[in-house]
Chain A
Amino acid sequence: MTTMAFPIPRPTHPTGIWNWITTIDHKKIGVLYGVTAFILFLTGGIEALLMRIQLAGPNQDIVSAEIFNQLFTMHGTTMIFLAIMPLSAAFFNFVIPLQIGARDVAFPRLNAFSYWTFLAGAIILKISWFTGGATNAGWFGYAPLTSVQQNPGTGIDYWIVSLQVLGIASLAASFNFLVTIINMRAPGMSFMRLPLFTWMTFITNILIVLAFPVITVALIELYFDRSFGMNFFNVARGGDPVLWQHLFWVFGHPEVYILILPAMGIVSEILPTFSKKPLFGYPAIVLAGAIIAFMGWMVWSHHMFTVGLGPIPVTVFTITTMAIAVPTGIKVFNWMGTMWGGSMDFKTPMLYAIGFVAMFTIGGISGVMHSMASSDAQQQDTYFIVAHIHYVLFGGAIFAIFAGIYYWFPKITGRMYSETLGKINFWITMVGFNLAFFPQHFLGLDGMPRRIYTYDASMGWNLWNGVSTAGVIILAIGILIFMHNIVKSWRKGELAGGDPWDGRTLEWSIPSPPPEYNFAEIPTVYDRDDWWARKRREVRRGVPVAGGSGEDEHHDIHLPQPSYWPLVVAIGLFIGGIGLVYPVGMYAISMVGVFIGTVAVYAWSFEPVNDPEEGEQAAH
């Protein structure tokens, strides 16, 4: 093995940009995830804004029908895979090791690899705007709209490859976090003492591990159809487009829980903190999360009620879909129980968390409305569904993510955001959001189909479409205020201190921003909400509360060293992926990617530990 004595030394204490490129510190990777995903969230927002401007009034042609198709497809794919999932991953990265009392994740380099691979997948998707047209078959890419005959351009291929690369990133991250949560808990941190966010992350990652292979296979089949003339979804050769729908939604429904469970975890951290009460019914929330994850596999055909599956499957899926609303409802009641009788402090994270509970409930109710197949027949493929998904995904997931950003901002940056701007941001977003999406319920029930690029004035849809577009503009202003707040406070906000919220979980027991090694000493956990309990215990005993303040440098803590190779493997995947988009004659490019990736994987495996301070030359 020539690679064994790999000549390139491992980076030691890199600075500036190299520091970020080679970092394997979970906190920095969390920040990278967050910033990147937020920028991608903005691109998805711009796509949405263009659509809403086009639909503001009847018979407009600001964007063409074809561009409109690309806009809604890219918007959906972006928001789900490039915004909400990686924003959740940002929290996994930053928060999980801190909450369980660990110094890093189980596989720090794999963690860096996940981030760079996610970035590669995101770039592959986004450059398809500039390579002759982006994908245009909807975020669920129904066959046969995606066949070569119908869709000969490269847009679909970029979409396929990008989703595959993103899948690799998500899977790698999930393996990592599962092992981290199972195996790196501080002494005493039993499963039933885990903070709720950690619990929901754990469940989410199980879902990712089991759901992503399904979409991977579906996309492979689609790719083989398109590139090698196979028959999976080719009706002329007996292929069945409905199989695609099954495969997609067997993945797709667990995917919506992958999007919402971390949000539920975030909110379950914030509500108790700002109500100054323990979470009401902790075991019930945990169990409800697990049941949702389990039942999430039994409802997928509610996306296919109008396909003609026959009365028996439709009845079964109606019942399971209604049933899954029960554990969801349990959580809502637990959150209300948490606030009930608490001494509530309406800081911005709390406002967003309460906003989440309210908006998510509205989305849940419209969900139960179309869980009834007979009623869904009216609603399928109308704006009613658009309203539903935005109440659960914007009012739900994104609100919770904003709540989480405000909540952990002092921990991440060491500085406090501006509360005034935060509150303004919340109320503008709240008003804009409801103006934008509530009228879509009316439009949907009035028969306006989703994914049409324009409509006639005589349809009677003018008013609510106008209101909706106005709402989106207000929403956009809210987001701008948010960005202003974050950027300004990051640079010169007041210093926050280790525990600004009188927090409950371990991340608040260490200084802000946390030192590289997180915990000078790995804590021993005696309670659920251990930090909260420790503060009470120590106050009772008259002992000054330790932690939350700066501590000495600890030279005997050995942290994993930075590494180039995760990035290089991701570059290999990127090049390999691009080659796959252009099969004819371009597989050479893929081979280059494969070569780079393989070399890097070997280099990774044999990477030396060469920190001079460590003074030892061990090579695995």
Chain B
Amino acid sequence: MAQATAHHGEHEPTTTGLNHRKMLMWAFLGSDCMFFGTLIATYLVYKNRSITGPLPEDVFSIPVTTVSTFVLLMSSMSMVLAYAALTRNSMKTFRIWLASTCILGATFVGFQVYEFTTFANYEHKVYCADVGVKELTPLKQQLAEKCGTEDEHNGVVEEVVGLTPRTNLFGSTFYTLTGFHGAHVTLGIVWLLSLFFLSFKKGMVTPEKNLDLDLAPLYWHFVDIVWIVIFTVVYLFGVFPGF
């Protein structure tokens, strides 16, 4: 019996032998490349063009973001393990890895929320001994002018200058780019969670019917790769001037 309904698309013979939905996913990812490409392009065009601080050097903490990047990369690994477990038909292992993927993803988003709130209320520190010795960012130079006044305590000037999307061009471009990335991760988590709960219903997620588990990892890995680009271009290039 010919099964030509949308549901059974996966069983339908196709011209190329490739599955319809998988091909759609690839087309979508191509489109999404242009989406992130444009956001990154905007970020780069406006790099070093903010009129006021804070700038990347003022707020970024490479160690923290390295940890969150590591967490996200690990989620890709557990995604692979989940998929492998499903093809072996060991549902229990599958669920464990799928859940860990969600948890790791959520941890990454948590890091991002933490980062955003820290940046928005950032307390900058200037060591007055550094003035004239080390190279200071424009914002720190500005704050350093308070050295020697009553604002200096124990050789340090401290002041809160938050970075919000409105503060400067860096804020607008940074939050928009990373925010949309975070939204992609969040959507991925929702998708994976749906699959997780579905897997408890008999016959919904099986090695033969694992298509969604072919598409979701594709999406998930893509979003991870985008983050590697963002981490390099925005964070590393932002802090290490040699890049």
Query: Which 3 residue pairs spanning A and B have beta carbons closest together?
Result: A213-B35, A213-B34, A217-B38
Choose from B5, B8, B23, B32 the contact partner of A183 (Cβ within 8 Å).
B23
A-B contact list, 5 entries, CB within 8 Å: A106-B20, A175-B28, A210-B34, A212-B31, A213-B32
Residues of B within 8 A of A243 (CB): 42, 45-46
Q: Quick one: which of B6, B18, B34, B169 contacts A231, CB cutoff 8 A?
A: B169
Q: Mark A23-41, 1 if CB is under 8 A from B, else 0.
A: 0100000000000000000
Chain A residue numbers with a CB within 8 Å of B173 are 232
Q: Which of A218-226, A424-432, A453-461, A530-538 lies at the interface?
A: A218-226
Residues of A contacting B154 in the complex (Cβ-Cβ under 8 angstroms) = none
Q: Is A178 an interface residue when CB atoms closer than 8 A count as contact?
A: yes
The interface stretch among A114-122, A234-242, A374-382, A469-477 is A234-242
| Interface status of A331 (Cβ within 8 A of chain B) | no
CB atoms of B4 and A230 under 8 A apart: no
Q: Does A79 interact with chain B (Cβ within 8 Å)?
A: no
Q: Is the CB of B23 within 8 A of A238?
A: no
- Tally A-B pairs: CB < 8 A: 138
Give the contacting residue for A238; candidates B24, B35, B50, B204; CB below 8 A: B50
Question: Quick check: is B30 within 8 A (CB to CB) of the other chain?
Answer: yes
Chain B residues with CB under 8 Å of A1's CB are 194, 197-198, 201
Expressed in whole angstroms, the minimum distance between the Cβ of B196 and any Cβ of chain A is 11
Q: Is the CB of A558 within 8 A of B5?
A: yes
Q: Are A238 and B20 in contact (CB under 8 A)?
A: no
Indicate if the CB atoms of A178 and B168 lie closer than 8 Å.
no
Question: From residue B203, how far is it (CB to closest CB) to chain A in Å?
Answer: 10
Contact between B27 and A175, CB atoms less than 8 A apart: yes
Contact in complex: B20, A107 (CB < 8 Å):
yes
Kindly provide the distance from the CB of B198 to the nearest chain A CB, expressed in whole angstroms: 7
Known contacts A210-B34, A556-B2: does B27 contact A179 (CB below 8 Å)?
yes
Partner pick for A107 among B14, B24, B37, B171, CB 8 A cutoff: B24
Q: Is B172 in contact with A556, judged by CB distance below 8 angstroms?
A: no
Contact with A along B176-207 (1 / 0, CB 8 A): 10000000000000000010011001001000
A218 engages B38 (CB within 8 Å):
yes
* A218, B176: Cα distance in complex, Å: 12
Assess the B169–A239 pair: CB atoms within 8 A.
Answer: yes
List residues of A whose CB falls within 8 A of some B CB. 1, 4, 24, 103-104, 106-109, 171, 174-176, 178-179, 182-185, 189, 209-214, 216-218, 220-221, 224-225, 228-232, 237-240, 243, 247, 556-561, 602, 607, 609, 618-620
Interface residues in chain B, defined as those with a beta carbon under 8 Å from any beta carbon in chain A: 1-9, 14-16, 18, 20, 23-24, 27-28, 30-32, 34-35, 37-39, 42, 45-46, 49-51, 165-166, 168-169, 171-173, 176, 194, 197-198, 201, 204
Q: Are B34 and A183 in contact (CB under 8 A)?
A: no
From A24, A210, A211, A240, contact of B45 by CB (8 A): A240
Chain B residue at smallest Cβ distance from A1: B197
Complex contact B42–A217 (CB within 8 A): yes
Q: Are B16 and A4 in contact (CB under 8 A)?
A: no
Q: Which of B18, B31, B50, B165 is the one whose CB lies under 8 Å from A230?
A: B165
Further pairs besides A213-B31, A238-B169: 20, Cβ < 8 Å: A1-B198, A107-B9, A109-B6, A178-B23, A178-B24, A179-B24, A185-B15, A209-B31, A211-B34, A213-B32, A214-B34, A224-B165, A225-B172, A230-B166, A231-B171, A232-B46, A243-B42, A558-B5, A607-B7, A620-B7
Q: A213-B34, A213-B38 are in contact. Are A238 and B49 (CB under 8 A)?
A: yes
A contact residues around B8 at 8 Å (CB): 618
Q: Is B42 within 8 A of A558, CB to CB?
A: no
**Are the CB atoms of A559 and B4 closer together than 8 Å?**
yes
A178/B27 contact (C-beta < 8 A), A107-B20, A238-B169, A618-B8 known:
yes
A217 and B39 in contact, given A179-B27, A238-B50, A238-B51 (Cβ under 8 angstroms): yes
Chain A residues within an 8 Å CB radius of B38: 213-214, 217-218, 247
For residue B32, which residues in chain A have a CB less than 8 angstroms away from its CB? 213
Please give the distance in Å from B48's CB to the nearest CB on chain A.
10
The residue from B27, B51, B172 contacting A224, defined by CB atoms under 8 A apart: B172
Bound together, the chains give a CA A14 to CA B70 distance in angstroms of 53
| C-alpha spacing A559/B201, complex, angstroms | 28
- B168–A238 touching, CB < 8 Å: yes
Partner among B31, B37, B166 whose Cβ is within 8 Å of the Cβ of A229:
B166
Q: How far is the CA of A220 from the CA of B201 in the complex (A)?
A: 39
Shortest beta-carbon distance, B26 to chain A, in Å? 9
Complex interface: chain A residues within 8 A of B49 (CB): 238, 240
Smallest CB gap from B39: residue in A: A217
A418 to B49, CA, bound (A): 64
A109 to B24 Cα, complex, angstroms: 14
* A171 to B27 Cα, complex, angstroms: 10
Contacts of B176 in A (CB 8 A): 220-221, 224, 230
